[in-house]
Structure 1
Amino acid sequence: MTRTTLLDRDYVVTDRGGIIENTHGVHIAVTDIEGNILFSAGNPSRVTHSRSAAKPAQAVAVIETGAVDKFGFDEIDLALTSGEDDLRCGGHPAVSEEVNREWIRTGFVPTGICNNCSGKHVAMMAGAEALGADVKDYHLPSHPMQLEVKRVVGDLAHDPKQVEWGVDGCNLPAPAYPLFYLAQKYATFADAADAVEASSSTSQRTRNFARVFNTMTKHPEQVGGTGRFCTVLMQTYRGQLFGKVGADASYGIGVRESEDTRRLGVKGALGVAAKIEDGNLEILYAVIPEILEQLGIGTPEQRGRLDGIHHLQRRNTMNEVTGHVRFNFKVRPFGDRVDKTTGYLGRQ
């Protein structure tokens, strides 16, 4: 039997018995700290909601309110316990299957304190307090805390006019912008870590970026959790890069300057952003190691530690392998004829 399938140029395939079952479109942008697109797949200018991949920028906004230094982490943790009624994120089932089973067994109903974004919400409550603003409305787009977030996001954007806003799943304003903006943002954080390490005479903003990068890479278990991809990725690369997932399959990575980045012709740090068109997180987690392998980021041993995630196998209820994932894309050099409004003209 002849099967014809109309497919995009860059995609991931899952098969069952060698027969294509699903295809997942892939968009990738690789930039330097100036936002120049160096490599790409799919449409690197696809307007993308970064979702939780925006958290590093949101963290900087909180730092710049003075809340982190004013309250200290212990007091912020205390606020998480005492301020549950003011949380505006709502509850959801646990990410951990083990925890979720226990909740079901005991009849526990998760509240906002159990939300996987509750830490960000508590930090913003602390930020609102530091600004002298009403804590109860910290989530509203017009609130001073959210205006701080918008300021930081705008400062990081290649063109602030291209930033749009929606509402995230956790009920906070969520920025959307061309995918390569996300890559540039993550490159900026990694570059800040390099700058602070090299010199003590950096700007306060640069130190804030470096603070977020270093905190995430030193404590990756606090970013994702046991067995979560973000945690495993940063544990594997041990300070060379940081990464954060966003819901519906967006991802940002910032890679510090190294022999690997210089070999790619990059001056300074490197940023990588990816989006899976249909929002499949499992496919996204397989795609990130594939990107790192194609770019040659890290040692073969480091990349090998991600093999179980990278070379995903489909299994049935008897744990038998029924299919595999195949990568039908190449992260290609991006030419000089770049039209950043489309993201396609410069692709080679």
Structure 2
Amino acid sequence: MTGRVNGPVAATTYRGDAIENTHVAHLAVVDAQGGLLYGFGDPSRMTLARSAAKPAQALAVLETGALERFGFEEADLALMCGSHNSEDRHIERARQMIAKANASEADLRCGGHAPISDAVYRSWIKRDFTPGAVCSNCSGKHAGMLAGAQAIGADVQDYHKADHPLQLRVKHTVADVCDLPDEAVQWAVDGCNLPTPAFPLERLARLYAKLADAAAQSSEASARSAALARIYRAMTRYPEMVAGEGRFCTALMRSFDGALVGKLGAEASYAIGVRPNEQTARLGAKGALGIAVKVEDGNTTVLYAVVAQLLTQLDIGTAAQRAQLESFRAPPMRNTMGVETGRLALSVALEPVSAKQ
């Protein structure tokens, strides 16, 4: 289906033969130099990246020297970039990070909530478990912020506030790594109580292209590139810390075994960085490839299907690697009795930028 409702329809859900929902999306594919190669809808759509911006926020913390000062490990850095399932390993690592930073759970300015994982939720119900701040899917980011505030000699009590010295530093870093002036980034409050940025979708793609490009550079790279490469390595070596069992981010990075990095943002934004290779060069990329997607109605099931479909359209990785994501690309639609009730049809089609000129 190719109708437009505030943009092009990327997917349609059917119940039987009847259309139940249409889903508008926007996409941007760029290279490491920021060149826009392919688009769909509005690649410049002002987009709240939400948790897809976590690598840029983690970069600001990393550049304070906090990781070295408090002895944070690579898996800790991955959790800082993650939106985790609140599995036991995630909660325990967040607690360890807080302890390393000489802080306590009471210092966290995020709240407990129901976990993303249904399996974890069932276990909590059985135990009559009440989640605290350390159980937040963003607890790794908050633990990193606590350490970052101390590393720059700032008070930790209000580390989450927009005018805190650490957040001012984060805001500048996010804008800078996206090649934007500070005033071009809009800021709101995220679900976890930290500032969250909004910028054009293609700049989110540019951020992830930079992550992937940095990972492919030599040891003589700049300090900024070395920090970006460190974040890429942490996320791809510990994908279970970025999300968890049954989650798309973890499945994606496991399937591609270090060849790409990917991260979800709440309300259906997603970004991927692909290390430079023959496939990215064939697409016309100078260096690494960055992909960013925003689904207008916030449907993450549709988002994952679109992202998986894009990997096929762009011929990223091998057929065997992409096949590991098939359950996300074509999710089964069944009712409570296990009867198949419908299907998801994808209509997203990337257009070369030259075709629009």
TM-score, normalized by length of structure 2? 0.89
Matched residue, 1:25? 24
State the alpha-carbon separation in 1 of the partners of residues 163 and 290 from structure 2: 30
Matched residue, 2:12? 13
109-118 or 5-14, larger mean C-alpha shift: 5-14
State the alpha-carbon separation in 2 of the partners of residues 81 and 111 from structure 1: 18
State the alpha-carbon separation in 1 of the partners of residues 102 and 129 from structure 2: 17
The Cα of 1:111 is off from its aligned counterpart by 1.5
State the alpha-carbon separation in 1 of the partners of residues 206 and 104 from structure 2: 35
Matched residue, 1:143? 164
Matched residue, 1:339? none
Out of 200, 210, 226, the residue aligned to residue 178 of structure 1 is 200
Matched residue, 2:214? 192
State the alpha-carbon separation in 2 of the partners of residues 83 and 246 from structure 1: 27
Matched residue, 1:338? none
The Cα of 1:79 is off from its aligned counterpart by 4.7
Alignment of 1:70-219 (within 5 A): 70-73=69-72, 76-79=97-100, 83-160=104-181, 161-195=183-217, 199-219=218-238
SS in structure 1 of the partner of residue 356 of structure 2 = coil
173-182 or 106-115, larger mean C-alpha shift: 106-115
The Cα of 1:113 is off from its aligned counterpart by 1.0
State the alpha-carbon separation in 2 of the partners of residues 96 and 292 from structure 1: 25
Matched residue, 1:299? 318
State the alpha-carbon separation in 1 of the partners of residues 159 and 98 from structure 2: 17
The Cα of 1:6 is off from its aligned counterpart by 6.6
SS in structure 1 of the partner of residue 192 of structure 2 = coil
The Cα of 1:182 is off from its aligned counterpart by 0.1
Across the two proteins, how many residue pairs are aligned to each other? 331
Matched residue, 1:340? none
State the alpha-carbon separation in 2 of the partners of residues 150 and 76 from structure 1: 23
1:274 matched to 2:290: no
323-332 or 206-215, larger mean C-alpha shift: 323-332
15-24 or 67-76, larger mean C-alpha shift: 67-76
Q: Is the 8 A contact 1:157 1:163 kept in 2?
A: no
State the alpha-carbon separation in 2 of the partners of residues 137 and 6 from structure 1: 44
State the alpha-carbon separation in 1 of the partners of residues 30 and 165 from structure 2: 31
State the alpha-carbon separation in 2 of the partners of residues 37 and 207 from structure 1: 24
Provide the alpha-carbon RMSD of the alignment: 1.6
State the alpha-carbon separation in 2 of the partners of residues 327 and 80 from structure 1: 46
SS in structure 2 of the partner of residue 73 of structure 1 = coil
State the alpha-carbon separation in 1 of the partners of residues 25 and 321 from structure 2: 24
User: What stretches of structure 1 of length at least 5 have no aligned partner?
Assistant: 336-345
State the alpha-carbon separation in 1 of the partners of residues 4 and 139 from structure 2: 42
Q: Is the 8 A contact 1:40 1:347 kept in 2?
A: no
The Cα of 1:119 is off from its aligned counterpart by 0.7
User: What stretches of structure 2 of length at least 5 have no aligned partner?
Assistant: 74-95
Write out per-residue CA displacement over residues 299-345 of structure 1, whole angstroms, 9 at most, x where no aligned residue.
1111111111111221111112111111112011012xxxxxxxxxx
Matched residue, 2:46? 47
Matched residue, 1:341? none
State the alpha-carbon separation in 2 of the partners of residues 190 and 119 from structure 1: 22
Q: Which amino acid aligns with 2:170?
A: V
51-60 or 7-16, larger mean C-alpha shift: 7-16
State the alpha-carbon separation in 1 of the partners of residues 196 and 265 from structure 2: 11
Q: Is the 8 A contact 2:32 2:285 kept in 1?
A: no
SS in structure 1 of the partner of residue 345 of structure 2 = strand
State the alpha-carbon separation in 1 of the partners of residues 157 and 146 from structure 2: 8
Q: Which amino acid aligns with 1:156?
A: V
The Cα of 1:230 is off from its aligned counterpart by 0.3
Matched residue, 2:63? 64
State the alpha-carbon separation in 2 of the partners of residues 6 and 62 from structure 1: 41
Q: Is the 8 A contact 1:313 1:324 kept in 2?
A: yes
Matched residue, 2:343? 324
State the alpha-carbon separation in 1 of the partners of residues 37 and 4 from structure 2: 28
The Cα of 1:77 is off from its aligned counterpart by 4.8
State the alpha-carbon separation in 1 of the partners of residues 163 and 318 from structure 2: 46
State the alpha-carbon separation in 1 of the partners of residues 135 and 346 from structure 2: 36
State the alpha-carbon separation in 1 of the partners of residues 31 and 154 from structure 2: 37
